[in-house]
Every structure is written in structure tokens, then in C-alpha cells.
Structure 1
Amino acid sequence: MTNSNEVHFKGKNFDFNLTETPIIYSILNLTPDSFYDGGVNTSIDQVLDRIETEMGYGAKTFELGGKSSKPHFDDISPDEEWQRVEPYLKAIQKRFPNIVLAIDSNTNSVIERALQSGIQIINDIDGFNSQAKLDLVQQYQPSVVTMFNGRNFDEQPTTLEDTMHSFFTGSINRLEQAGLQRENIVIDPGVGFSDRNTLEFDLIKMRYTKQMRQFGAPIMIAISQKSFAKRLFDAGSDERLIPTLLFEAYMTQLGGRIIRVHNVKETQELIKTYQIFKDILSD
């Protein structure tokens, strides 16, 4: 971090000071089968217009995804995954040359192609758990999001926090050994990523946001429209916005600073409300 009192997220051509204000990290799924917005972003022009609008609402980073990672997702070939992303990526970079872009992928060859194409942030749901990915990090020095994926662990409620602590300690250490600094490494508790997919695990992970501050790395809030709202309130996929915003506000209070979302305008309003609330509390 820049100093002991500040939290920054840094990468190639960007430096976001997260100390007082969270940032919006917009999700651009380019897949037909994503759990919430599959098949929505079907036109390049539509996506370009959406980015322009969301920039106006304050979005700082845009993440492209060419493969769904919802529970029991259908895997696809690396070539198909990249073919979904590449035409959008080229058009976005042409229209917005200074944009900060991420890719959501756990596929080695897709990550490599993304880095070769100038994408600055790699979001790996498997937490860079292979030497091949770490070698790519060492070669290209991107910023990263390393997520705790409960599907890769034998999760138990009584040991989950210890398992997450061990995971983040090890993942951050390996990424630093590959040449990254702490401000290049975003950590994500992985809400919604469990084979059991229970509300109990999701709530533990949300609460663990507070403990994650000990790592001194930027913390991601990635709960947008996820199914915890269904289990809490029997909310359908088009009824989860309010629970999403309420729990995002909660995790922001605990220390989350990068809010990964589908609903950018509403998240901007959340951040403004958070800042007003924080000012009231400090009076």
C-alpha cells in the first residue's frame, strides 16, 4: 500500500485510491448461459453504448467473461471462450483506448491471449492455483483477483474461516513471489461458490470480509444478484437487486472496496448513500 493509512488498487495505467470510496467494477458477460444476464450482451454496439453509459455512472473497471462459472456450468473449449471475447475486446479498446479492462477466466490459454491483447486484470475463480498461471503472472505482471473457490475445498462451517485464511495467505504469497505487489492483488471471499451452495456458507464468507482486512490487500464484493437472495427471501433472478444492495452495503462497512456488479447505476447510488452515512456517523 502507499502508506499504512491508505488502500490502493494499482495496475498498468491505473491507480484507484480505495481508502474512503469504493469503486464500481462492471460485469460484461458475453455468454448465452450466465446465471443472471446470459444472452443479454449480444451486440457489440450495444455493449459499447452500455460502457459509455456506465462510465457516466462512475464505473472504473469493466470485466469481460466468455464462459459461465455458475454452479454446474457447462465447460467449453478455450477457443470458443476466446472467440466470444475477442471481437468485443477489440471494439472496446478501439473506442475507449484508456479503459481499464479485466477478464473473468480460469483457462490458461485464454488468460495468456487476454494478456497479450492488453487486458490489465485477470480474475481467476480458482485463485491462480497452477504453476502455468503463476508463470503468466510473472511474465506479464497483470493485476489480479484471486478468489476463494469453495468448490475446490472440502468446506465445513466450523473450519471455513481457517481454510480461507490459509488459502489467502498462500495465494498472496505465491503471487508476490511471481512479482506482484500487495496493491496489485484483489482478494474475493467467493460468495456463491460452493458445491453445497448453502446460505450458511455464503453468510460466513460475507462476515469474513472484516477479517480479510488483515491481508492489507483490496477486497472485492462480488455478490451481485446471487442466489443467497433466493434462499433468504425466495427472490427470483429479477427480484434480487434490493437484497444485493443491502448486503453490498454491509460488506462495504466491513472493508470491501471493489464492488463487482451487474447494476451500475444503482451501485453508484449505494456508494453515495454510504458516503453520506459515513459522514453522519463521523459527526
Structure 2
Amino acid sequence: MPKGTKKTLNCRGRLIDLTTPVVMGILNVTPDSFYTGSRVSANADLVERAGQMLADGATFIDIGGYSTRPGANDISPAEEADRVLPAIEAVLRQYPNALISVDTFRAEVARQAVDAGASMVNDVAGGTLDPLMFETVAGLGVPYVLMHLRGNPKTMQSLSVYENLVVDVVDEIGVQLAKLRALGAKDVLLDPGFGFAKTPAQNFELLSQLNAFQQFDEPLLIGLSRKSTIWKTLNISADAALNGTTVLNTAALLKGASVLRVHDVREAVEAIKLSQRLNFF
């Protein structure tokens, strides 16, 4: 992690140390997320999966009820809340010390999730799809993941034309970060948005220049797990993309990632442990 980067997060009074990178496990309570292995349909299955992720070394569990894969169908805020709130409550009943992140771009769902016990808001839209999101998360006082996105899940793939990819993404994130800071938000993580309004070639370019985001001195959350950039490049399927995920996660660690958001927790934890022995951070 670069020297000036913030190294702690306050999660509902618990101070999380990011001096050594940590892992966020993905749990989707959706029927159509792009990777079938991340989907769970019953709370019992979800609790079991969450328990395994925690045992494997996950620091955070990211629960999402709205699929953001390209072309995903829209659902109402009420339906999204009906998916995520019981899931959050079920995990916390079994694992009361678990740190739950809610994956939503809707302010009202974020508020309800935090009321239900979530400790973080992970917004794939970086505040661009709900004008109340920034004010809401600043008031809630929980860490917030600010991701770069253009458009929405249905339109984003048509918005991948940039004058200068890295400069444009950095600038656009910077604008949103300034708004958050002006509202008093304390703990912000930045996510470049791999795969969101970006082609596979652009994702590789962005990863190779990840250190451009160090100017903000905020920790980086990186989500590359099993994405099409990997499996299209290797001519395989998402189900076969674990090895490629580990390779790119390791590259992200070398470039300063503080949080790896993944489907496969144990392998990501191992990548961190081995990278630490190489003095990556």
C-alpha cells in the first residue's frame, strides 16, 4: 500500500487495519448474476456460504440483491430490499461479528441494510444513479465504496469510449469523491470499476496503471474475480477463471490494492499471504 494511503476503516466502531490487504467475499441473492457459483437462493445456503468465507479468511461479506452484469434486468427497490435484508439478518444471527457490506446503488436500500446491521455500502454507481446516496452514506457514517461507472447496467457497455482512459476514470472518480468529502464522509474506498463501461483491453490498461489512483490517498477495492476480461482473454468460461483471477489479483496487490473483492476467498487470502512474503506491501 502506498505510504500516504489511509490504512484503517471504522466499521460501526470496529477499526479495520488495511496495512495488509484484506478480502471481501461475494454473496449474491440474485437469480441472474454472471457467475453461477456466487448465487444463493435460500438463507440456509447463504449462511453456510458466509461461514465458509469467514473461515477461509474473509474480512467482509458483500451481499447483493441486484445483478449488475451487462444487460441485467431492472428490479424495484422493494424487491431488492426483500432479497438483501433477510440475508443480512440471517448471516448476522449466526455470525454476529461478521462485517457485512451491502452491494447497492440505491440510498434507501443502503439505509435499510445498515439498519439491519450492514457495516459498509458498496455502490457500483459511485453515487451517479441515486442523488440521495452521498448524503445518506455520509449520514450513516459507514465506509463507502465509490466505484466508477458510466450509465447503468443496461447501457454501460455502449459508454466505453474515452479520450484518455486512465485520466478520464481518475477525473470522474475525483469529482464524485470531492462531493462525498464535502458532505463529511470519512471512510471511502475507491473502485476503478473493472468491466463497467470498459472493454477487456481497457481493463488491462487500467490495471497496469492502477497506481494513478494513489493521488487520492484512499484505499483501493479491486473487483476482478472471474470477470469476462479473464475468461474471454483465455477463451474459457467464468467457471474456469479462478487461476486467471488469482493472477490478476496478485497484479492488483503489486499495484497497491487494499481490498480484493472475490468469489473465492481462500485463494485470495493465499495470494495476499504469499505477496506479503515478497514485500509487496
TM-score (ref. length: structure 2): 0.90
What secondary structure does 2:30 align onto? coil
What secondary structure does 2:132 align onto? helix
Distance 2:33 2:12 in 1: 29
Query: What is the correspondence of 1:165-204 to structure 2 with a 5 Å cutoff?
Result: 165-181=170-186, 184-194=187-197, 197-204=198-205
What secondary structure does 2:201 align onto? helix
Distance 2:5 2:175 in 1: 24
Residues 154-188 of structure 1, C-alpha deviations (whole Å, 9 max, x = no match): 5435412121121222222111122222xx10000
**Paired position in structure 1 for 2:28:** 29
Check whether the contact 2:122–2:146 (CA below 8 A) recurs between aligned residues: yes
Query: What is the correspondence of 1:68-79 to structure 2 with a 5 Å cutoff?
Result: 68-79=67-78
Give the number of aligned pairs: 274
Query: What is the correspondence of 1:54-133 to structure 2 with a 5 Å cutoff?
Result: 54-129=53-128, 130-133=130-133
Q: Call closer, same or farther: CA 1:44–1:7 in 2, change over 3 Å.
A: same
Distance 2:160 2:45 in 1: 40
**Paired position in structure 2 for 1:146:** 146
Q: Is 1:50 equivalent to 2:53 in the alignment?
A: no
Distance 2:181 2:151 in 1: 24
Q: Call closer, same or farther: CA 1:96–1:173 in 2, change over 3 Å.
A: same
Check whether the contact 1:123–1:145 (CA below 8 A) recurs between aligned residues: yes
Distance 2:111 2:199 in 1: 34
Matching residue's letter, 1:93: L
Check whether the contact 1:34–1:69 (CA below 8 A) recurs between aligned residues: yes
Residues 110-133 of structure 1, C-alpha deviations (whole Å, 9 max, x = no match): 122113223121111110134311
Matching residue's letter, 2:57: G
Matching residue's letter, 1:243: G
**Paired position in structure 2 for 1:259:** 260
Query: What is the correspondence of 1:167-246 to structure 2 with a 5 Å cutoff?
Result: 167-181=172-186, 184-194=187-197, 197-246=198-247
- Following TM superposition, by how much is the alpha carbon of 1:6 offset from its aligned partner in structure 2, in angstroms? 5.9
- Following TM superposition, by how much is the alpha carbon of 1:256 offset from its aligned partner in structure 2, in angstroms? 0.6
- Following TM superposition, by how much is the alpha carbon of 1:15 offset from its aligned partner in structure 2, in angstroms? 2.2
**Root mean square deviation, CA, Å:** 2.2
**Paired position in structure 1 for 2:269:** 268
Which range is displaced more, 184-193 or 227-236? 227-236
Residues 23-57 of structure 1, C-alpha deviations (whole Å, 9 max, x = no match): 01011101010000367312222222222222122
Which range is displaced more, 43-52 or 22-31? 43-52
Distance 1:268 1:13 in 2: 24
What secondary structure does 2:214 align onto? helix
**Paired position in structure 2 for 1:16:** 16
What secondary structure does 1:256 align onto? coil
Q: Call closer, same or farther: CA 1:203–1:172 in 2, change over 3 Å.
A: same
What secondary structure does 1:102 align onto? strand
Percentage of matched positions with identical amino acids: 27
Check whether the contact 2:5–2:214 (CA below 8 A) recurs between aligned residues: no
What secondary structure does 1:167 align onto? helix
Distance 2:253 2:37 in 1: 27
What secondary structure does 1:259 align onto? strand
